[in-house]
Amino acid sequence: MSTPTKDALEPVNFTSAADALEASIQQEQHFRDDLLKMLIRHSGGQIAKDEEQYLSVKQLSSRIPYAESSIRNMMGAGTFREGTHYFKRGARVMFKWSAVQSWVEGQDQRVEAPLPLVRNKAHGS
């Protein structure tokens, strides 16, 4: 076995090694970000059940089979209720995903109080 000569050894360029390490770290971070996005997309947006998600009208329309205009109409009609299904911060509307899931799955049974009958002497009541 021969020993390498002084001329056979190349000097180590620490600057290029540091650059290569930095590039490798950035590539790994991009890979992790892409993987997380893929997991969120394929898990219906929930990685962990404890994690609550809030969605814009546009994001919600991509998760359930309703157009943005239909969702806004349902907000106006009272199907989606402020404080239960959605919240407003300024002009922004944010839907609580777990509440919308309950509505989609039929677990959100809206209990409405019956309208009181008004007795009016003019109508003989």
pLDDT tens for 8-47 read 666 666 677 778 877 888 888 777 777 777 777 776 655 5
Instruction: Say which residues have a Cβ less than 8 Å from residue 103's Cβ, sequence separation at least 6.
Output: 79, 80, 85
Domain locations in the chain as residue ranges: 20-47, 52-104
pLDDT above 70 for 73: yes
Please give the structure tokens belonging to residue 80.
Answer: 């989606």
CATH number of 52-104: 3.90.105
User: How many whole angstroms separate alpha carbon 64 and alpha carbon 86?
Assistant: 15
Q: What share of the chain is helix, strand, coil (3-state, %, to 5)?
A: 50, 10, 40
